[in-house]
A = this chain, B = another copy of it.
Amino acid sequence: MKFTKNAVGRLIPDEIEGRKLRPFQGAFVDNGGGKRTAPPIPVSKPGDKKLLSSLKEAIEAVGLKDGMTISFHHHLRNGDFVVNMVVDEIARMGIKGLTLFPSALFPVHKPLIEHIKSGVIRNIQGSMNGPVGRFVSYGGLPTVAVLRTHGGRVRAVEDGDVHIDVAFIAAPSSDDYGNANGVDGPSACGPLAYSAIDWQYADKVVVITDNLLPYPLVPFSVPATHVDYVVKVDQIGDPGLIVSGTTRITRSPTRLKIAQMAAQFIKESSYFKNGFSFQTGAGGISLAITKILADVMRKEKIKARFINGGVTKYAVEMLHEGLIDVLYDGQVFDTEAIESFKNDLYHVETPMTMYANYHSKGCLVNRQDIGFLGATEIDVDFNVNVNTHSDGILLHGIGGHTDVAAGAKLAMIVVPSYRNRVPIIKDKVTTISTPGETIDVMVCERGIAINPRRKDLIEHFKNSKLPIRNIQDIKKEVEGITGVPEKPKFKDRIITLIEYRDGTILDVVREIDE
């Protein structure tokens, strides 16, 4: 195998399993070019029926065959029943060697491991949160997996890197023609934004619902123009696991301290002014920053123009209070946010292309002022790992992390300095998920480190009372408490590629050596 060192110093094989790899060259080096891919030309006639009575019938109707690529989406999160039910049916039908192209898998999808072992699933391209990731880390998948960002996943489809043969879309509501939404029905989840690229580009699209409503269903996230078949099943998910009844702000004193420091940093920055924008999520620290920021905004009479979410009731309250004009929403985390998503004109769905596609004419993250992001590790070059833990095991997807970091004017990593006596700051992160050149600041409870590339920020904060420190110093201090943990041991075999949002390879993950 021939390797080339990429722009973040990782050795990337020139080719793997017949795919030629392009090593990462820098966050904004790629300039597009060439043509997008195109789906087949369909036809539909008055009287055509789409409603089928079973998954089996749908799988037959779309002509699923050995070796094809099928896609799924994670808007039902850990409450999803659809992935398992479809792959179980495919297995019963004796179809093998599939590539799974999910936007993300969750712990609920652990049964897929048996389908990998039996050869039904041959490859996975998509986030693997939890048990499937662990299984892949130990060499369980016979092929090399690919992890992409939210923006990278849609880019890969549009550019033709990934061809979806059949997209299966879990729909909390649908009519018999395939107009589907996520806001009505017992399994309501909010937007269906992850599925948008799939219904646009997949050869065949199957909507799976447990709540059939009269045609034409309005509002809709998926349009009937792009759906081949609709299947009604008993239940697409567990409502209690799809959205939480309540999202909660962290109560950890350390995490609250981090949130306060981050909020104060934002307040002192040049970005905190009328019309600013930020990204929030459902994580404990992120919610705490949002809440503290809201208080500061009230006090200083500053209004935000938009939040780019993951949306929770906290963001919705800010919208209703008038602290913010617009909520852009890729997924919601609680029932209040679903209600708002359904009814508020200024709470709009964000398909992933709109959110984060580098190969678009302008996505949302490009116009975002501030993003607060998590990390499993960060290194002294500000490279961030969100995929593997320090034990080297693949447990998380990339999500929009890398996209927001690239786009936001102020990309902040907000993390505790250690977790379970494992320090977060490393000489080199185990896996690079997001390149350091796109990270501006790290905030932990021991101090705030500004990326040396941001001379303007360092200058701006030189008289601040905030504990602005060198990242190396914070690292040493933490290691004085925790010690320096041993590095995980890997075999040679590459089990996963970490693809940057432009399609180049940022890093590889290797099989764990037990």
Contact = CB atoms under 8 A, between A and B. Distances in A.
A97 interface: no
A196 B357 CA distance: 19
Given A38-B37, A354-B223, A46 B361 contact: no
Contacts of A218: 325-326, 345-346, 348
A305 B179 CA distance: 15
B36 A41 contact: yes
A32 interface: yes
A361 B35 contact: no
Given A40-B33, A218-B348, A228-B361, A46 B406 contact: yes
Contacts of A152: none
Nearest to A227: B361
Interface stretch (A99-107, A241-249, A363-371, A483-491): A363-371
A148 interface: no
A366 B215 contact: no
Contacts of A406: 46
A41 B362 contact: no
B41 A34 contact: yes
Interface residues of A, number: 64
Nearest to A345: B219
A252 interface: no
Interface string A363-383: 111110000000000000000
Nearest to A204: B361
A225 B360 contact: yes
Given A215-B367, A275-B214, A35 B39 contact: yes
Interface in A197-221: 205, 214-216, 218-219
A155 B28 CA distance: 35
A26 B55 CA distance: 35
A415 to B, nearest CB: 23
A343 interface: yes
Nearest to A364: B216
A194 interface: no
A32 B38 contact: no
A409 to B, nearest CB: 7
A328 interface: yes
B158 A357 contact: no
Nearest to A44: B362
A226 interface: yes
A37 B35 CA distance: 9
B215 A363 contact: no
Contact of A34 (B40, B354, B407): B40
B305 A216 contact: yes
A35 B406 CA distance: 34
A367 B216 contact: yes
Contacts of A407: 46
Which of A28, A38, A409 has the most B CB atoms < 10 Å from its CB? A38
Nearest to A47: B366
B32 A40 contact: yes
Contacts of A353: 225
A172 interface: no
A446 interface: no
A327 to B, nearest CB: 9
Given A31-B43, A40-B33, A48 B226 contact: no
A21 to B, nearest CB: 19
10 contacts: A28-B45, A38-B38, A46-B366, A46-B407, A178-B361, A214-B325, A224-B354, A225-B353, A227-B361, A343-B345
Given A177-B367, A225-B362, 11 more contacts: A34-B41, A38-B38, A43-B358, A44-B360, A44-B362, A46-B406, A218-B326, A219-B348, A224-B354, A225-B357, A342-B345
